[in-house]
Amino acid sequence: MSDLRTIYIEEMRGRVDQLRLSLALSGAIDQKARAAALYDAHLQAHTIKGTSEQLGYTEAAALGAAMSGALEKARADNKLLKAVQSNIERGCNAMIAWLEADLGATRPLVIAAAAFSVGGLRQGATQP
């Protein structure tokens, strides 16, 4: 495995862990803490997108973009945020599975990204 690939895998594992932590903290009652946690979750997803895109991992970049965009849209809507949180957890699981499979089959990433369709989230759907 090349050094760049190893670094990417470790970096993405860290980003996914931080995204999960920030998402968990987004349930804070304090508005400032909630806003900061949502911002950090958005930043982590956006970084997953950008890094993956730069290295040519198109499906991982699409998943990062979907998570980032969904978080942006859900900031002020608690009902939408709950659907987004569920989909992000699925996205994180897909990302970790892909990383652990040494960047193997990307279909789970594509399915996880598809779960973020705005229409599906508006209807409260959490499955792709």
83: exposed, middle or buried (Cβ count in 10 Å: 0-12, 13-18, 19+) = buried
Least confident of 12-21, 32-41, 110-119: 110-119
Three-state secondary structure call for residue 33: helix
- Per cent of the chain over pLDDT 90 is 62
Residue given tokens 């969904």 in the structure block: 70
pLDDT band at 1 (very low <50, low <70, confident <90, very high): low
Ordered structural domains, the chain, with CATH: 3-122 (1.20.120)
80: exposed, middle or buried (Cβ count in 10 Å: 0-12, 13-18, 19+) = middle
